[in-house]
Amino acid sequence: MIRILVVDDNEDITFSIKKMLEKMDKDYSVTCAHNADEAFTFAKKDEYDLIILDIMMPGKDGIIFSEQLKQDDKTKNIPIIFLTAKTDEQTKKDVSYISADLVTKPIEPMLLDVAIKKALKDTGSIKYIKTMLDE
């Protein structure tokens, strides 16, 4: 199983992403969090292969939260894919600084799938390699 943590303050969005991912690949196990603090608790408690993270959230936004993740020994190597409705140059610059992929809302399932596979491949995820060999 490839464990994915989806973080967005909008519960409808996390639910739809969860359903999309589970339909996309039976090997995806998806957990949803609705703010950065809840997500950090989950990320510290369990081992995730990937985090899909909304940029614009109340309180701690996705960029600040990703920096928190990168400073923690347990979470620093988890790849991140950012979600956003914003497509301005500053957002793209912030995301590229963190070396993460960016998927815009509304989400195109095919683009999200490509971003997930790229993120897992780039990190050399053993689970990803095993699932690719099983196909």
**DSSP characters over 12-59:** HHHHHHHHHHHHH-TTEEEEEESSHHHHHHHHHHS--SEEEEES--SS
Q: Is the pTM of this model over 0.75?
A: yes
Please determine, for residue 23, whether its predicted confidence score (pLDDT) is greater than 70. yes
C-alpha–C-alpha distance, residues 55 and 21, integer Å: 19
**pLDDT of 18 strictly over 80:** yes
Per-residue pLDDT band for 54 (boundaries 50, 70, 90) equals very high
Q: How far apart are CA 19 and CA 9, in angstroms?
A: 17
Where residue 3 falls (left for φ over 0; alpha for ψ -120 to 50; beta otherwise) is: beta
Whether 10 shows a pLDDT value over 90: the answer reads: yes
Phi-psi region of 99 (alpha: psi -120 to 50; beta: other; left: phi over 0): left
List, in sequence order, every residue forming a beta bridge with 4; answer none if it has no partner. Answer: 30, 50
**pLDDT tens column, 35-44:** 999 999 999 9
The domain locations on the chain are 2-134
Mean pLDDT of the 46-68 span: 94
Quote the pLDDT of residue 4. 97
Taking residues 30-37, what's their average pLDDT? 97
Predicted local distance difference test score (pLDDT) of residue 124:
67
Query: Is the previous residue joined to 79 through a cis bond, with omega within 30 degrees of 0?
Result: no
- What is the predicted pLDDT for the residue at 104? 85
* Higher-confidence position of 122 and 39: 39
Q: Which fold has domain 2-134?
A: Rossmann fold (3.40.50)
pLDDT value at residue 53:
96
